[in-house]
Amino acid sequence: MNPLKTIAILATATSITQANYKDSLYVDMFAGSSFLASSDIIQRSMTTEADFDPGNMFGARIGYHHNVNWAFELEYIYRRNDLDTVSGGAFATATEGDYASTSVMFNAIYNFDNLKKEFAGIKWQPYAGLGIGVLTEADIDFTISGVETEYEKDFIPAAQLILGSKFAINNNWALFGEIRYTFAGNIDLRSTSDSSEVSIDYGGSSALIGIRYNF
């Protein structure tokens, strides 16, 4: 085959592949498990040590493929973890409770195009990302002697690390799985019934699966 013709064919194939990724949109729906780290809850210099059960999370996002490697996303997530055990401090006698949040994040995703593989006719590709945004709301509830008390705060800066892999079913549909770590530092939540506050850390991991539609 003529070398120039071979080069032309390869260049055309490359441009078609890039065109399939560049300037294209996708929508994701996902759900999974949330694992919050243990935290000290501080109120009036009294410290309660709290552990949380594994919880649920779900969300949706819209993404934009800039090229074969980079994509950018805007996402919404809801997380909730029930209180497991408490000891010491003002909330030592709490019998129930939960720690919940909603967030809006902007993610920058790097797709490892050179690691793309195909197995049993299914193409899979790993990716990693960094997200920054806000917890649009974080709240923690305690039930003590049958009375529920709620503490909350809006618009808390947050960040997350993302590691995942996607599995292409066809040109439009794909499945994906991810693990994440989300962090918002130490935050002060105010009571919804009076002026009291609690200070608590927000950080934890999550594992999720989802489905994608590429436009």
DSSP state of 82: E
Candidates 128, 72, 139; CA nearest to 103 is: 139
Residue 169 counted as domain residue: yes
- Domain containing 37 equals 24-214
Residue 18 counted as domain residue: no
Write the single-letter amino acid at 63.
G
Residue 8 counted as domain residue: no
d(CA 196, CA 85): 22
What's the confidence (pLDDT) of residue 15? 40
Helix (DSSP H) and strand (DSSP E) numbers for the chain = 1, 11
User: Are 81 and 42 a contacting pair, CB within 8 Å?
Assistant: no
CA gyration radius for the chain?
22
Residue 23 Cα distances to 62, 70, 72, 143, angstroms: 13, 11, 11, 50
Residue 10 counted as domain residue: no
What's the confidence (pLDDT) of residue 209? 98
Residue 13 counted as domain residue: no
How many C-alpha atoms does 140 have within 13 Å on its Cβ side?
Answer: 24
Q: How many separate domains does the chain show?
A: 1
Phi, psi of 206 (to 5 degrees): -150, 155
The CATH number for 111's domain is: 2.40.160.20
Residue with tokens 């539609």: 213
What's the confidence (pLDDT) of residue 182? 97
User: Are 128 and 109 a contacting pair, CB within 8 Å?
Assistant: yes
Residue 128 counted as domain residue: yes
Spell out the per-residue pLDDT of the chain, length 215, in tens. 554 454 444 344 444 344 445 679 999 999 999 999 999 999 988 999 999 999 999 999 999 999 999 999 999 999 999 999 999 999 999 999 999 999 999 999 999 988 888 877 788 999 999 999 999 999 999 999 999 999 999 999 999 999 999 999 988 999 999 999 999 999 999 999 888 999 999 999 999 999 999 99
Neighbours of 114 (CB within 10 A): 8
Residue 15 counted as domain residue: no
- DSSP H stretches of helix in the chain: 3-21
Candidates 181, 136, 138; CA nearest to 159 is: 181
Residue 74 counted as domain residue: yes
